[in-house]
Amino acid sequence: MNTQDTFKFAETHEWADLEGDGLVWVGISNHAQEALGDVMFFQAPKLGQQVKQGEAIAVIESVKAASDIHAPVSGEIIALNEEVDASPEIVNEKPYGVWLFKIKPSSEENLAAELNQLLSPESYQSGPGA
């Protein structure tokens, strides 16, 4: 996993990290986990599911509320983090160190355009994640 400096953020508080293998790892921001409180449950998307950028594809629940998780890029869900399934509270402990699922982008062209629509760490910190 890259450092948080390489992350891109959606206004809906998901982070996306493009790895060297071409996969996009997805998690939630520190702002999101703080707003949620103690995470109790994660309803993951389905393996093999085709997703579109911005689409609500999963749900994370806490003692306070439930919140949709949106796809930061379009593609296919190819991996789920079993550690989060077994112990969802780890999202509270290290939101930038825990990925929820991985997306295989539908195309490199689309990926570049979609990543450009996401926020840099600086833009996120001064905007939605402030």
Task: Please give the chain's pLDDT, 130 residues, in tens.
Answer: 555 788 999 999 999 999 999 999 999 999 999 999 999 999 999 999 999 999 999 999 999 899 999 999 999 999 999 999 999 999 999 999 999 999 999 998 999 999 999 999 999 988 887 7
Indicate the SS3 state at residue 59.
strand
> What pLDDT is stored for residue 129 in this prediction?
75
Give pTM, 2 decimals: 0.94
> What pLDDT is stored for residue 7 in this prediction?
95
Q: What is the dihedral of CA 70, 57, 31, 65, to 10 degrees?
A: 130
> What pLDDT is stored for residue 3 in this prediction?
54
Structural class in CATH, domain 4-126: mainly beta
130 by Cβ neighbours in 10 Å (0-12 / 13-18 / 19+) ranks as exposed
